[in-house]
Amino acid sequence: MFRRSWKTKMTASERGRGLVFFALYLLVFPYLNAWAQRVISGDGEPLVAEANVLYYALLFTLSLLLFWSFLKKDFEELVSWLPENLFGVVTGLLLAGGLRLLAVSLPFPVPDPIAAQYAAEYGAAPVPTLVLVLLLIPLVEEVLFRGLVFGNLRGYSRVLAYLVCVPLYALAQVWRYALDFSDPRYLLLAVLYLPMSAALTWCYDNGGSVWSGVALHGGLNAIILFTT
């Protein structure tokens, strides 16, 4: 079950702003966030959960400002194609969540730092962490990976859009750890995020609204958080 037609609702100016924002999100902002945490904490214990909530709250606000027109149109698409969007969320949650539970049983050479970080932050600050993993991260990443990358490629080629977006998101979750720890084995953890990436991409393709992807993303993050 797919929507009968596809046309991105992102304007040319939003695409231009989005590409700059996307590059900064991947290559610059994470290191600025880490530097700011070190400066603020000084010799004390860093408040990682609170700092990450503030960091993603700023990115969340930027996403709303940069993509307001797109998000508004996508909400209208959510309402217009509600059955397709609900079907995508429920199906993606069941399939990707199940595959995630199976994938974590594989003998990876290194632990998943994202799952460990979520668990540690939830133990230290439960409410801020829930806001982070259920709302802030999902909206920022869905706008960029699905709305910007997949949505714009989808108008040219559905196959190309999947081939680019699915592995790109999975690798984006782990590549920085491979660099930070100088250990390429962390790239293997992308396998853990391929089902999630495929489900989120398919959910957007099926319903045409990034808001259903935000809901599914939050649900899959909850599975990562509470099954670690």
Per-residue confidence in pLDDT tens, the chain, 228 aa:
555 567 778 999 999 999 999 999 999 999 988 887 777 766 665 567 788 889 999 999 999 999 999 999 999 999 999 999 999 999 999 999 999 999 999 999 999 999 999 998 899 889 999 999 999 999 999 999 999 999 999 988 999 999 999 999 999 999 999 999 999 999 999 999 999 999 999 999 999 999 999 999 999 999 999 987
CA quadruple 65, 71, 72, 75: dihedral positive or negative? negative
- Number of domain units in the chain: 1
**Contact present, 211 and 79 (Cβ < 8 Å):** no
> What residues contact residue 94 under an 8 Å CB cut-off, 6+ apart?
none
Judge whether 138 lies within some domain. yes
pTM: 0.94
Judge whether 39 lies within some domain. yes
Judge whether 2 lies within some domain. no
> What residues contact residue 163 under an 8 Å CB cut-off, 6+ apart?
none
- Measured CA to CA, the distance from residue 166 to residue 151 in angstroms comes to 12
> What residues contact residue 29 under an 8 Å CB cut-off, 6+ apart?
55, 59
Judge whether 1 lies within some domain. no
Judge whether 4 lies within some domain. no
- Measured CA to CA, the distance from residue 31 to residue 224 in angstroms comes to 24
